[in-house]
Amino acid sequence: MNDTRYELRPIGFVESSLVDLASAPAQGDEGAPDARIVVRPEFAPAMRSLEAGESIVVLTWLDRGDRTVLELHPRDDPTRPLHGVFSTRSPDRPNPIGLHEVEIVGIEDTRIQVRNLEAIDGTPVVDIKPVLGPVGAR
């Protein structure tokens, strides 16, 4: 168990005008620019049936996250009590996977235009999932 590792392959990356962490909002609904997910051509068939107007969950690999951090003060605010990283959305965590719920604005070839994605330009994307609707509609 202890030595098991799993290997993620990027299925694409983020294309955005956000280029540095300092200007990135902490969460997408706090004011991120529109952005695109550029899917690698070999994964294009997996995009079938994605449509404008749909909500999706984008999973990214936050490659600048510090994987050794287990506890921190949320939003680097020392007046807030120390939290375990599993109680925060910090990119600093053992497996720095980012979760972003966004809306598809449009699709052109292997580019998915989305609203409110707070990831910086070049961030690897590892998965895309539909947001689940009510049980009967799945």
Which residues would be at the binding site for a copy of itself (CB under 8 A)? 1-2, 4-11, 13, 26-27, 29-30, 40, 43, 45-50, 56-57, 59, 61, 63, 70-71, 74-75, 81-89, 93-95, 97, 99, 124, 126-130, 132, 135, 138
Helix, strand or coil, per DSSP, at residue 101: strand
State the minimum distance, in angstroms, from the CB of residue 4 to a copy of itself: 6
State the minimum distance, in angstroms, from the CB of residue 17 to a copy of itself: 20
State the minimum distance, in angstroms, from the CB of residue 9 to a copy of itself: 6
Is the CB of 23 or the CB of 129 nearer to a copy of itself? 129
Is the CB of 18 or the CB of 65 nearer to a copy of itself? 65
* C-alpha–C-alpha distance, residues 106 and 47, integer Å: 12
* C-alpha–C-alpha distance, residues 13 and 10, integer Å: 7
69 half-sphere exposure, CB direction, 13 A CA radius = 21
- Dig out the tokens for 48 from the structure: 């079938």
Nearest to residue 23, comparing CAs of 125, 113, 91, 119? 119
